[in-house]
Amino acid sequence: MAKILQRKRLVPNIHLLEVHAPEVAQKCKPGQFVIIMPDERGERIPLTIGDWDEKKGSVTSVFLVVGTSTHKLSMLEAGDEVPVFVGPLGKPSEIEKYGTVLCAGGCFGIAAIYPIARALKEAGNKIITLLDVKANYLIYWEDKLKAVSDQFFISARDSYYDCKEYIPNTLEKIVKKEKKIDRVVSIGCTYLMYTCSEATKPYGIKTVVSLNPIMVDGTGMCGACRVTIDGKTKFACVDGPDFDGHLVDWDELFSRRKSYFEDEIQSLCYWEKETFP
C-alpha cells in the first residue's frame, strides 16, 4: 500500500497526486512513469512522473480525469492509500547538451515535461517552453516551468496569452523565428504529439514524444502497450515511453487507444450509478 500525501485539483479536470513512495522517489529519472491502481477493484494505469522529492520520499504526477480509474483517483484524499504504486518504469529521457531544445506540452503533459526541461537546462541547453491550453484558466505550473526556461510561450485559444493558435502553428512560427532548434520534446495527448511531430518534420528537427498507449503490467510482459516505430514492434513500457515522433505509426496508435472506448463508457456509467445512487 502507498499513502497519498496530497491530491488536489490544479485546474478543471486536471489533478495533482503526491504519493509517499520513498524507494520510487530515490530512483526517479526524467521521462519515467509509475503504474497505479486506485483501488483493489480498479485497473492499473500509467502516470508520467511530474516531480519527486527524495528527502520527503514522495512522487508527484498530474492526471486528466477521463474514465473510471482517473475519476476514482480524483476522489482520493491525503491519508488514503492505493494498493499498487510501482515504479519508476520505462527508460529515462535522453539528456545531453543539444543546444536549443523546444519543450512542448499540453494537458497532463505540462507536468510531464517539467523534469525533462529541468534536466535539459541543467545539462546546459537553452530551453524554449511552449505550452498548449484551450483557455488561460487551464494553465498550471507556469512558475515552475518559467524557472527552467530561457523563453516561455503559451498557446491559448483566448486572448490572455501570447499566441492564440493551436500548438503546431505556434511551434512552426518559433522554429522559423529561432532559425536553429536542435531538438523538440513534445508530451501531451496523442493528437498534440502527432501534430507537433508533423510540424517539425519538414525542418528535420529530431522530435521526441512520450507515447501513452494502454498499459497493463508496465514491464514488457503483456504486450498491451505495443506500438510500431519505423516498421518495428516496440513495447512503450520498456522500449520507451520516449520515441522519435517522425517514426511512429500514428494511425495505429490512434486506433489502439480507441480499442476499449465503449467499455470505458459503460464502466464509467456503472461506477457512477454505484457510487452516486
Query: Which residues of this protein are in contact with ligand FES, per CB under 6 A?
Result: 215-218, 220-225, 235, 237
- Residue 277: is the preceding peptide bond cis (ω within 30°)? no
Q: Which residue type is seen at 213?
A: P
In whole angstroms, the minimum distance from the beta carbon of 213 to ligand FES comes to 8
In whole angstroms, the minimum distance from the beta carbon of 8 to ligand FES comes to 28
In whole angstroms, the minimum distance from the beta carbon of 240 to ligand FES comes to 9
What grid cell was written down for 1? 500500500
Q: Which is nearer to ligand FES, 11 or 222 (CB)?
A: 222
User: How far, CA to CA in Å, does 256 sit from each of 190, 209, 244?
Assistant: 11, 17, 19
Please list, in sequence order, all residues whose beta carbon lies within 8 angstroms of the beta carbon of residue 42, skipping any fewer than 6 positions away: 68, 69, 72
**Backbone φ, ψ for residue 133 (5° rounding):** -140, 150
In whole angstroms, the minimum distance from the beta carbon of 177 to ligand FES comes to 39
Residue 211 and residue 240: Cα distance in Å, rounded? 7
Q: Which is nearer to ligand FES, 21 or 237 (CB)?
A: 237
Residue 33 and residue 234: Cα distance in Å, rounded? 17
Q: Which is nearer to ligand FES, 33 or 250 (CB)?
A: 33
- Residue 118, classed as helix, strand or coil, is helix
In whole angstroms, the minimum distance from the beta carbon of 31 to ligand FES comes to 16
| Element containing residue 88 per DSSP (H, E) | strand 84-89
Contact 36/79 with Cβ under 8 angstroms? no
Q: Which is nearer to ligand FES, 73 or 236 (CB)?
A: 236
In whole angstroms, the minimum distance from the beta carbon of 235 to ligand FES comes to 4
In whole angstroms, the minimum distance from the beta carbon of 38 to ligand FES comes to 17
Contact 175/203 with Cβ under 8 angstroms? yes
Q: Which residue type is seen at 182?
A: D
Q: Which is nearer to ligand FES, 196 or 227 (CB)?
A: 227
Q: At what angle are helices 190-200 and 250-257 packed, to 10 degrees?
A: 170
Residue 170 and residue 39: Cα distance in Å, rounded? 41
Q: Which is nearer to ligand FES, 35 or 181 (CB)?
A: 35
Q: Which is nearer to ligand FES, 196 or 215 (CB)?
A: 215
